[in-house]
Structures are given as C-alpha cells and as structure tokens.
Amino acid sequence: MKSISAMPPCQAACPIHTDVRGYVSAISKGEIENAIKIIRQVNPFPAVCGRICTRACESACRRAQVDEPIAIASLKRFAADQTKDLKIIPKPGTYYDERIAVIGGGPCGLTAAHDLTLLGYKVTVFEANKGLGGMLTRGIPEYRLPKSVVKEDIDFILSIGVEAVTGMSLGRDFTIEGLLKEYQAVFLALGSERSVFPKCKGIELPGIITAVEFLKQIGQGGRPHLGESVVIVGGGHTAIDAARTCLRLGSSDVTVVYRRTLKEMPASKTEVEEAEHEGVKIIYLTSPVQFLGGGKVEKVRCVKMKPAGKDLSRRSKLMPVENSEFEIKADAVILAIGYNPKTDRIKDVELISGKSGTIVVKDETGITNIKGVFAGGDVVSGPVSVIHAIASGKKAADSIHRYLRNLPSKEVEDPMVLSPLDEKIANLVLKAVRQKMPALSVEERIKSFNEVNLGYSREQAITEAQRCLNCGSGAVISDECVACFNCVMVCPYGVPVAGEEKAKIDISQCQACGICAAECPASAIDVRIETKEESRKKLEGAIKAAKEKSPGGFKIEFFCQYEESLMPVGDKTGKHVIGKPCMARVDVSQLIRPFEEGSIAVEIDKCGFHNECRFKGCEKWIEKHIESARKILEKSGIGADKLRMVCKE
C-alpha cells in the first residue's frame, strides 16, 4: 500500500501507533500470520493487549459513526491466539557491543528490552520477583488475563535473545553504580506497586488489606475467603479486579466504594458492566471516613461526596455532603485507591525524584539526571495502563539507542489524522453489527478463575474485521486526470468533486470501493487498498502459475476476497484464482487480459456478491464490466461465452 500522510484515527490514538488498519485488513482476508507480523512490528505483548488494553483505538474508530466501533482488541487477541505456536523469530540487522541493564520485568521493561535487542544490543532484565510480568501477573486476575497468556508473550520476548535474571532486587542485590561499570546504559522500569492508604481512623485494624497484596496472593495460587461482606475502596481496574475476585472466592456481598462518578472512573466501562453483571455493587460519590470494629474490621463508615465547585472534570475537588454518613458491613476491606513507586531503595545515586517517589525525567526520552540512566513506565508516570507502559518502554529504547550511537534526538510530531466521516457518507455505509465476544455465563464465572472472555471464532474474527472501513486506503488522483469528472458521476458515495483544474477525492471520506478507478478513462485514479501495480502483479502472477500448472489450457477465476476468506482454509487448491478487495475493481482490461495469454475461459464468482455487498451498488458495475468485456471478446472472435459468471453454491 502507498504511504499516506494522514493516519487513520485508530492508529493515531494508539500510544504506540499500531497499524490497526493493516492488521484488521489482513484478518479480513484470512491472512492471520500477516496480521500478527504487523502487530509485532510495534507491540511485543499482543496476547496481553488483545485482552486488557484500554483501547483508545476503539474510542477513535470511525465505524462508530455508522454503528459500533470495530472490536480491535478482540481481533488482536484472535491474531495472537491463533498464531501462538508460530515461531517467527525476528533478528537484529546489526549487532553492537554495548550491554544494557533493564531493571524491572514488567511490560515497560520487557518492551524496552525487546526493542533494544532487536536494535542489536545485549540486554539483561533484572526482576526482583520470582517471575517476569510485573503487574500483568501479580496485579491482574486470571479470569481477565490468564498467566499462561502473559507467559506466551514473555516467552516470545525471551526467544529473541533477551536475558532475564529473576529474584534480583535493586538496592538489596545490586546497585545502579555497580551496574554502570558493566553496562553502558541502565533503564529503570521499577513500576509502581506501593499502595496508598486513606487517612482514616481505624486503618490499622486487622482485616484491612491492600489490593496489590490481595491480588498477588491470588496470583500465587492462594484462595483466601475474606468473609461474606467485603468493601473495596477505589475506582480503578485494580478495585474492580479485586471485587470480581472476591465473588469468585465465595463472598456474596461485595461493594465497591468510589468517591467520584462512573464517568470519572479509571476502570473501563465494560469491566464495570461485567462486574455489576456478576453481582458487584458499586456506590458512587462516597468516601470512607472511619473503619470500625473490635479486634478486627466490622464496618466502614462512609460519607457522601459532592463536587466542591461547578467544575465536574476528573480532577475537580470534592467535598463531603453534610449529615450524609452511613455504615456498610464489612468482614474485610480491600484498599485500591492508588499506588506509588518504591524508589527509596535507590540509595547509591542521587536521582531527582518527584512527589510520591516517582523518578523525574527530562521528557518522553526517559533521560534522568544521571548520565546513562533512563527511566520509564509507572515509576515515572505513576500507575497507567499497560499500553502506556509499553509506549514508554519503546520511547526509552529509542532514546537509549540514540544515546549509545550518538544520534540526534528524535523529532516527535503529532500525526496528521483523517477527519471524521461526513454524516451523509456515514449514513450511506451499510450497517453491520459488532461481533459479540463469546463469554462464560455468570454462574460459570463466579465458580472459578477461568478466563471470562473466550475469544472469537475464525468466522467471527473475519466477519468483524470486514466491518473495518479501511479508512484512508481509498482513491488517489494523479496528475494524469483529464478532468472528465466521470468519477464524480460514478461514485456511489458522492465523494469526488470537480476541483478548479482536476477532480478531487477527499481521502478521509472515500470508502475504497474502487469503482471510480475502474471507470476513469485516463487511468488516473489508484486505490491504496490494492494499487494498479499490485493488481497487475497479482493477475500476471496468477496467469504465470496457471500456465505452468496447466499448459494444456487453463481457466482464471476472480472471486471476492471478502467472501473467500470465510471459506475453509485450503479450498483454493487446484484453481487459478485471483482475490479482489471488491469485484467492482476487476475492470474490463483485467477480464480480457487472461485470454491474451491463452486462458480458455474466465469466470467471475458470483457467490461473493449476490448478497448485499459491503460496497454500495458494486453489482451493477461488475455486470457492466462483464458486458463490455464480452463485447470485446465477441468482436475479436474469442467468443462472449468464454467469460461467464458462476456460482458454486
């Protein structure tokens, strides 16, 4: 595909700018290996992100203007799950002598290690705990992110040559100064796991635990029963994870107390919905003021909160509502109100630290006040989502590479983004419902820690991927335009317009059906989703293969690849076939070209478009092309009947 200047909104919204359109398009054609390769170009955690990503891409997806956004994360999960046994091990192009130490084996540290290894460095990851993964394995429960899944991604990272040493703790087993003698750069990705405690009376009572401590215990296989009634304080992913975990451990009365409203909740809406579906109660605009009990916690005294001013933004101040105190029964309390980094163990060097123990860095490059020492991830930002940790690891890897190679710093520019769909065009796009993720029933869920979401089937994944609007892969007009404005007449969406000198096609609105390209008398229009050159190569390649396989006479068949990708794998054997993004793209010259090379017949597989096609009115154009091609075949003596429409159903 030709390079483009404006990014699709999904790619722009992704903190690591994953080529979402690229891999979703690959899945839509049934090319799952290609999809995972595209994902892996930037993301070493596809199986993890496919499950727990905060999905900024989906919030930006333009399909939402038509019906619902593409289930991008679920498609990523599908690609990762389907290819987990595939061993595609990338190798660095160059090797350097420098060694790099990464402290912290969470998503940020491992991503930096992954990228630096592929850049050609020798990287060692030091992890204080017994296992790698950081909060992915210690903080997120099994039903949302199974450990086996995290292991798949980590195993891949280790397979490219990342060395990892576990059970080695900074400050206890080694120092930064010591590392700097052996390593030319040190990256601190220490995470942020120290729980913040609310300033309430009774906080010391037994029965009050931190969510990190609790989830860690579960992660290690512990199955404590905390009692019938559990109160969780907080509104992030961890609070919801802890609450849903309590249900699975047999507690029947689980309440989350959050001081703001659902709108400001850091936990995702889907998670909140799922938790409520399973039976978790959530009380908004409420804060604990005191923990009560004799010998152990028995009750939580809470107060209702209200915004202090008119400003209702996420960080607006709150104040208690007078005389609104009430009590909730609690056999146990889990605190999940926030986490700070544990940087007090760094004693040998004087790193500048910020509030709450974070490390202060110059900017996104992660450069600290000490030469050769970089920092990133939660230890810099405080707790954020996994994709932000990955992004931070990637930026640090790039910056360490520039530091070691003495390269100038990278100019970071905000990408240009395709504008939203015009309402008129959004209304013309055929509606198609988002595929529902198969999941365990509530009864099955709360009995076990089995993964709740089961993943798409192949058919579901391809169907979902085919909903993608392929934003920005539409038509481009070259200087050869003769301003006949035929494109203006034929476009089913009304996108091309007459410009001052030539026709103009707004790439942000074009739906990439390719009808204008097939009809342009000057051949001045190309479509990025499959360029003329790609199309020509595909056809010539198929003819060449057909000639070799069947020297006695061959047939060429065109089919709609959107339809074909849903057929069972291997169905193509023995046919000389050419898949097209839309059959309307098969222009007259492509239909007659095979005859020049000796084809005895050309067939158009009608099955692909006899149902309502994703592209408006394409059937009319396919029929028109066939009719024109037949006329040429007739008058040139080949015979019109050699070109036919078939349906194999």
Interacting residues toward other proteins by CB under 8 A:
480, 482-486, 489, 520-524, 587-589, 592-593, 595-596, 632-633, 635-638
Instruction: For other proteins, give the closer residue by CB, 1 or 632.
Output: 632
CA separation for the pair 139, 193 (Å, rounded): 9
With the C-alpha atoms ordered 276, 280, 283, 284, is the resulting torsion angle positive or negative? negative
Tokens of 619: 């059937």
Cβ-based neighbours of 596, under 8 Å, separated by 6 or more: none
Q: How far apart are CA 34 and CA 26, in angstroms?
A: 6
The CB-of-605 to other proteins minimum distance in angstroms stands at: 22
Which residue number, 13 or 643, has a Cβ lying nearer to other proteins? 643
CB of 277 to other proteins, least distance (A): 56
Q: Which is nearer to other proteins, 208 or 475 (CB)?
A: 475
Residue 362 or 631: the one with the smaller Cβ distance to other proteins is 631
Tell me how far, at minimum, the Cβ of 532 lies from other proteins, in Å: 11
**Residues forming a β-bridge with 26:** none
Tokens of 617: 């009115």
Residue 109 Cα distances to 102, 112, 356, 367, angstroms: 6, 5, 21, 15
Shortest separation between residue 491's beta carbon and other proteins, angstroms: 14
> Contacts from 152-156 at CB under 8 Å and sequence distance 24+?
152/47, 152/80, 152/84, 153/44, 153/45, 153/46, 153/47, 153/48, 153/80, 154/110, 156/44
Cα–Cα dist 305/150, whole Å = 39
CB 221 within 8 A of CB 245: no
For the chain, give percent helix, strand, coil, nearest 5: 35, 15, 45
Among residues 404 and 517, whose Cβ is nearest to other proteins?
517
Q: How far is the CB of 628 from other proteins (least distance, A)?
A: 8
Least distance (Å) between residue 512 CB and other proteins: 20
Q: Supply the DSSP string of 589-601, one letter for each residue.
A: HHHHHHHHTT-SE
Handedness of CA 555, 556, 562, 567 (dihedral sign): positive
Phi, psi of 436 (to 5 degrees): -85, 135
What is the spatial distance between Cα 413 and Cα 604, in angstroms, rounded to a whole number? Answer: 46
Using CA atoms, how far apart are residues 362 and 368, in angstroms rounded to an integer?
6
Q: Decide whether 4 or 638 has the Cβ nearer to other proteins.
A: 638
Closest separation in Å from C-beta 480 to other proteins:
7
Distance in Å, CB of 111 to other proteins, minimum: 49
- Nearer to other proteins by C-beta: 195 or 531? 531
Quote the least distance from Cβ 580 to other proteins, whole Å: 18
Q: Decide whether 519 or 563 has the Cβ nearer to other proteins.
A: 519
In angstroms, the CA 255 to CA 253 distance is 7
Nearest approach in angstroms of CB 589 to other proteins is 5
- Asked if residue 189 lies in contact with residue 340, where contact means CB atoms within 8 angstroms, the answer is no
CB nearer to other proteins: pick between 245 and 590: 590
Distance CA 35, CA 464 (A): 14
Helix (H, G, I), strand (E, B) or coil at 194: strand
- Taking the complex as a whole, how short is the minimal distance between the CB of residue 598 and other proteins, in angstroms? 8
Two tokens, residue 629 = 């091609």
- 56 versus 487: smaller Cβ distance to other proteins: 487
Element (H, E) at 108: helix 107-119
Indicate the residue among 397 and 524 with the shorter CB distance to other proteins: 524
Question: How do 475-477 and 525-527 pair as beta strands?
Answer: antiparallel
Q: Residue 206, SS3?
A: coil
